[in-house]
């Protein structure tokens, strides 16, 4: 029996009791009491993680929710954009916390912020929301919205509204040039200006999504019971890239599609430079599944793509010439970097006022015709309101570095430091402890095919060599490595090993232009791996590490963005995820070109290697 059916049955039972016991005390059925207590308990579990966001200077605010004990929280991009880098956040514990911007997704209307402890130090015991699954949500499910409508929560006690999910998998076209809502949830729970960025929970108090839009009657801004929330499954896909501090973009397949009159999703155009084209997708092909989700209309396809960050590699199934194919596709960016920044700048509202807002300024522009402008402060703002004027505190500036392309580069630097510390902890030091002399690698093994040909690899800062069977190759310049990758040569293994060795030796700051990208699937599979990108000359390298063990699992080297990279997968036997690899698997696209079973991996002073090469 569904929740609605149970509640209807309980209501009928209650009516019957009232009629039967009209002359005596009314006995509430146990099932109804249990349902009421369940709702009370769910609200009690959910409310502590709800955040009331206030823009300093009286420039507006909204809502949000805490997702980690150390203060990271999610909200809307259009809530944080008037504040810029600094805001104040109230919790139901009665405290107001300073918060700093972390990362933003201006296309999907998401932002990550971080709350700072009352003493200006990191607080590690914030209450956090329990994640549910928007994928399994169905129309008719009970839900609740907790937030800060009309910025009424000046007493820091958020408002709770209750309702049902009216629909799932809704698509809302971009408002203006940005703010696209794909695969979102629709609800009739009361949502008003100020609820933006806040949580929508299921009946058990588990997080289903982030409230973002609401349809209003055009005159008077009256809620008509049609609100929209970004699904928590989409938000989870973006947690890693938002935590990178970057301004992130959404994904595109590099193809246009239409719904076939006879049913199905047909490709109507495709870029020959796209990875989808390299994987065999062509004009007229029928797309069947993306990331395991069946798509039957063009709207289905757009809904699924809207939930991915640019750069992800996902499984796709399509049918062409009567044959079904399964492959992996790297998704491109919807915008170029400068294009995204330009559009974002055009969508930003003016900076918050430095005076108390006037009553006539309290109009809000949020809604299905919204241009993303921020909710205004209420006209009955208290003198000691948490969004009163104040300078940016030092605890915020200590966690803030401005850089083009980033919302806050501070958090990217921190992730880079964590990455190199973990990787160096896994592998031997790159300098001799006695002479501080740089070391090189000598890797010996055999091909993991039927021939089991001997393999010897030498990687140093000078000459590199590789012998497979009777075929020796020597590399002396980066240009030769570049050519090897573009030719899809086995020597691409040297390019990946060289980048790996140099990153260990120099660290991110000396390697080249290096940044923490965020998280993405490896080979289209979860869990999502941490990804660090390093650009040195014409080549771009990506290091992918497991999120739990932090073991390095793959090194990808791109010589050309429109061609397949050389992918070196680091495979291990046994349970020790941090052990040295037992297999090196070189792949281009979806094919393995060379797999080496490692027998020994030695660190040798480069002077000895140079002497051997004389």
pLDDT in tens, 280-309: 999 999 999 999 999 999 999 999 999 999
Question: How far is it, in rounded angstroms, from Cα 367 to Cα 614?
Answer: 73
Query: Does residue 85 register a pLDDT over 70?
Result: yes
290 exposure class (CB count in 10 Å sphere: 0-12, 13-18, 19+):
buried
438-453 tens-digit pLDDT? 788 999 999 997 788 9
Query: Does residue 316 register a pLDDT over 50?
Result: yes
How large is the average pLDDT for residues 259-276?
Answer: 94
Q: Answer for the pair 61, 79: CB distance below 8 angstroms, yes or no.
A: yes
Q: What is the CATH number of domain 413-613?
A: 2.50.20
228-247 tens-digit pLDDT? 999 999 999 999 999 999 99
Query: Does residue 376 register a pLDDT over 70?
Result: no
Lowest average pLDDT, out of 91-105, 165-179, 375-389, goes to 375-389
528-574 tens-digit pLDDT? 999 999 999 899 999 999 999 999 999 999 998 889 999 999 999 87
Render the burial of 565-593: b for 16+ CB within 10 Å, e for the rest: bbbbbbebeeeeeeeebbebbbbbbeeeb
Question: How far is it, in rounded angstroms, from Cα 63 to Cα 134?
Answer: 20
Give the model's pLDDT for residue 542. Answer: 98
Pairing of strands 286-290, 323-330: unpaired
Superfamily, domain 251-333 = PDZ domain (2.30.42.10)
How large is the average pLDDT for residues 334-349?
Answer: 84
Show the 3-state SS of 205-253: CEEEEEEEEEEEECCCCEEEEEEEEEEHHHHHHHHHHHHCCEECCEEEC
How large is the average pLDDT for residues 24-51?
Answer: 88
* Max intra-chain CA distance, the chain: 108
Task: Please name the helix (run of DSSP H) or strand (run of DSSP E) that holds residue 78, with its range, or none.
Answer: helix 77-80
Give the model's pLDDT for residue 299. Answer: 92
Q: Residue 361: which residues within 8 A CB-CB, separation 6 or more?
A: 353, 376
Question: How far is it, in rounded angstroms, from Cα 207 to Cα 64?
Answer: 12
Q: Place 178 in a pLDDT band, splitting at 50, 70 and 90.
A: confident
Structure tokens at 474: 């020597």
Q: Answer for the pair 499, 566: CB distance below 8 angstroms, yes or no.
A: no
Q: Place 383 in a pLDDT band, splitting at 50, 70 and 90.
A: very low
* CATH architecture label of 44-246+337-374: Beta Barrel (2.40)
- Answer whether 44-246+337-374 and 251-333 agree in fold: no
Using a pLDDT cut of 70, give the percent of the chain over it: 85
How large is the average pLDDT for residues 186-211?
Answer: 94
Q: Place 360 in a pLDDT band, splitting at 50, 70 and 90.
A: very low
What are the sequence ranges of the domains in the chain?
A: 3-43, 44-246+337-374, 251-333, 413-613
Give the model's pLDDT for residue 60. Answer: 83
Question: How far is it, in rounded angstroms, from Cα 142 to Cα 201?
Answer: 9
Give the model's pLDDT for residue 344. Answer: 86
């Amino acid at each position: 029996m569904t929740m609605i059916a149970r509640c209807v049955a309980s209501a009928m039972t209650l009516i019957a009791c009232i009629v039967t016991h009209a002359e005596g005390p009314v006995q509430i059925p146990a099932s109804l009491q249990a349902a009421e207590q369940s709702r009370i308990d769910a609200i009690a579990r959910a409310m502590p993680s709800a955040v009331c966001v206030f823009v300093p200077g009286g420039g507006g605010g909204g809502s949000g929710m805490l997702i980690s004990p150390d203060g990271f929280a999610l909200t809307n991009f259009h809530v944080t954009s008037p504040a810029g880098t600094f805001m104040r956040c109230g919790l139901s514990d009665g405290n107001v916390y300073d918060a700093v911007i972390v990362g933003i997704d201006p296309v999907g209307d998401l932002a990550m912020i971080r709350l700072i402890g009352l003493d200006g130090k990191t607080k590690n015991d914030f209450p956090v929301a329990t994640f549910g699954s928007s994928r399994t949500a169905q129309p008719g499910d009970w839900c609740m919205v907790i937030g800060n409508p009309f910025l009424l929560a000046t007493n820091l006690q958020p408002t709770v509204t209750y309702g049902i999910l009216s629909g799932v998998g809704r698509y809302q076209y971009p408002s203006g040039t940005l703010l696209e809502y794909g695969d979102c949830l629709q609800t009739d729970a009361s949502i008003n200006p100020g609820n933006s960025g806040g949580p929508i929970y299921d009946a058990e108090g588990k997080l289903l999504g982030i409230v973002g839009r609401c349809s209003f009657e055009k005159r008077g801004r009256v809620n008509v019971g049609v609100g929209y929330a970004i699904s928590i499954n989409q938000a989870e896909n973006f947690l890693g890239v938002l935590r990178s501090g970057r301004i992130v973009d959404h994904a595109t397949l590099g193809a246009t599609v239409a719904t076939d009159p006879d049913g199905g999703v047909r490709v109507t155009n495709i870029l020959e430079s796209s990875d989808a084209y390299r994987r065999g997708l062509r004009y007229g092909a029928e797309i069947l599944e993306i990331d395991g989700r069946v798509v039957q209309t063009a709207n289905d396809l757009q809904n699924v793509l809207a939930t991915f960050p640019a750069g992800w590699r996902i499984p796709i199934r399509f049918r062409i010439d009567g044959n079904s194919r399964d492959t992996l596709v790297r998704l491109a960016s919807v915008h170029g970097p400068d294009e995204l920044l330009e559009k974002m700048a055009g969508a930003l509202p003016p900076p918050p006022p430095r005076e108390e807002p006037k009553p006539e300024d309290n109009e809000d522009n949020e809604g299905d015709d919204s241009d993303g402008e921020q909710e205004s402060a209420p006209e009955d703002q208290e003198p000691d309101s948490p969004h009163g004027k104040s300078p940016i505190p030092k605890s915020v500036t200590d966690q803030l570095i401005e850089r083009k392309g980033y919302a806050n580069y501070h958090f990217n630097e921190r992730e880079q430091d964590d990455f190199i510390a973990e990787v160096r902890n896994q592998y031997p030091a790159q300098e001799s402890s006695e002479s501080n002399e740089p070391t090189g690698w000598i890797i010996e093994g055999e091909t993991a095919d039927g021939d089991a040909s001997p393999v010897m690899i030498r990687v140093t800062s000078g000459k590199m060599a590789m012998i497979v069977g009777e075929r020796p190759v020597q590399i002396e310049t980066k240009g030769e490595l570049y050519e090897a990758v573009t030719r899809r040569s086995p020597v691409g293994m040297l390019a990946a090993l060289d980048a790996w060795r140099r990153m260990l030796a120099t660290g991110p700051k000396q390697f080249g232009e290096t940044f923490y990208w965020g998280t993405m699937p490896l080979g289209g599979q979860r869990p999502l791996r941490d990804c660090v990108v390093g650009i040195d000359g014409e080549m771009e390298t990506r290091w992918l590490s497991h999120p739990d063990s932090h073991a390095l699992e793959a090194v990808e080297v791109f010589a050309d963005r429109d061609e397949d990279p050389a992918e070196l997968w680091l495979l291990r036997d046994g349970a020790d995820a941090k052990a040295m690899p037992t297999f090196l698997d070189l792949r281009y696209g979806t094919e393995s070109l060379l797999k080496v079973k490692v027998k020994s991996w030695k660190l040798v002073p480069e002077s000895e290697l140079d002497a051997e090469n004389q």
